[in-house]
């Protein structure tokens, strides 16, 4: 796996790094989205979703990686940079990508609910905007989608388990009494 300073050979190599970041998000109880930013083959920014842990609705993987790259490069303009992210960016992240002047965006899974690269809207195709990022969709899409599907299936199972336990405790007089005591 490439690390800071090592060149990756291909889009899937960098997407693997983004998927590793998405796995870190799962461990933190966050929606599994990971992102990396590369400039001329060098990793300059990395991040995963952390809005819950940071109490920050803007802490999407792309924003975290953009902030890290800006600090690393000492510039808010990330020209000549490529962003690899496991899920199609939302409108907020697409706007940040445009403002940062990221040259190329590569994403894995499409997002039919909030995707701003063609699934719901396509901000990168808007001719009135002054910067146009090249977009490549579907790199390691099945791996990215599987990670998301597994995460949400686990959350649904946990929720059902909690509801079942709560209903069971309500119907069990011994549990109700001991809980009240």
Q: Which two tokens stand for residue 35?
A: 């992102």
Active-site annotation holds for 62: yes
Q: 18-22 contacts: CB < 8 A, separation 24 or more?
A: 18/61, 18/84, 18/85, 18/86, 18/108, 19/86, 19/108, 19/140, 19/143, 19/144, 19/147, 21/46, 21/47, 21/48, 21/61, 21/86, 22/48, 22/49, 22/61, 22/86, 22/144, 22/147
**Contact in structure between 77 and 102 (CB atoms under 8 Å):** no
Q: Residue 42's closest CA among 7, 16, 84, 73?
A: 7
* Catalytic position from the list 30, 62, 82, 88: 62
Strands 81-87 and 42-48: unpaired
Catalytic residues: 62
């Amino acid at each position: 796996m490439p690390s800071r300073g090592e060149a990756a050979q291909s889009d899937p190599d960098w997407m693997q790094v983004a998927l590793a970041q998405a796995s870190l998000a799962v461990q933190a109880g966050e929606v599994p989205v990971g992102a990396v930013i590369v400039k001329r083959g060098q990793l300059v920014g990395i991040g995963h979703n952390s809005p819950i842990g940071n109490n920050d609705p803007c802490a999407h993987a792309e924003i975290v990686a953009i902030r890290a790259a800006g600090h690393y490069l000492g510039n808010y303009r990330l020209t000549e940079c490529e962003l690899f992210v496991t899920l199609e960016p939302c409108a907020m992240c697409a706007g940040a990508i445009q403002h940062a002047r990221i040259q190329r965006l590569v994403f894995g899974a499409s997002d039919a609910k909030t995707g701003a690269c063609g699934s719901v809207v396509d901000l990168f195709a808007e001719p009135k905007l002054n910067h146009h990022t090249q977009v490549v969709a579907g790199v390691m899409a099945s791996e990215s989608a599987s990670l998301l599907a597994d995460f949400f299936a686990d959350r649904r199972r946990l929720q059902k388990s909690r509801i079942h336990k709560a209903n069971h405790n309500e119907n069990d007089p011994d549990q109700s009494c001991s809980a009240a005591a």
